[in-house]
Structure 1
């Protein structure tokens, strides 16, 4: 019983230890890296928005034809 309790208590301790280790090794991106990431995210938003717009543009008339112009 004590071994099972010890195993249950070890999981949060190990998670916390690994989290602290990760935070201590991570660093803030510099300006150039931040701009590059921001540009990549912006391009991704634009592409996903364009894909969504095209799908919606095709879906509305297609839905009207299939449903019967309601």
Structure 2
């Protein structure tokens, strides 16, 4: 019984230990790296927005034709 309790308590300890190692090894990006990441995210937003816009642009008239326009 004590072994099971010890195993249950070891899981959060290991998680915290691994998390602290990750935080300690991590570093903040420099300005150039931050700008590159921001640009990549911005382009991703634009692409996903354009895809969503065109899907909606095609879906609305197609839906009105199929349903009969209400």
TM-score between the two structures when normalised by the length of structure 2: 0.99
The runs of at least 4 consecutive aligned structure 1 residues that moved more than 4 Å come to none
Distance, in Å, in 2 between the alignment partners of 1:34 and 1:8 is 40
Distance, in Å, in 2 between the alignment partners of 1:38 and 1:69 is 42
Q: Write out per-residue CA displacement over residues 10-38 of structure 1, whole angstroms, 9 at most, x where no aligned residue.
A: 00000000000000000000000000000
Cα drift, residue 59 of structure 1: 0.3
Structure 2 unaligned residues grouped into runs of 5+: none
Q: Write out per-residue CA displacement over residues 6-65 of structure 1, whole angstroms, 9 at most, x where no aligned residue.
A: 000000000000000000000000000000000000000000000000000000000001
Pairing 1:1-70 to 2, within 5 Å after superposition = 1-70=1-70
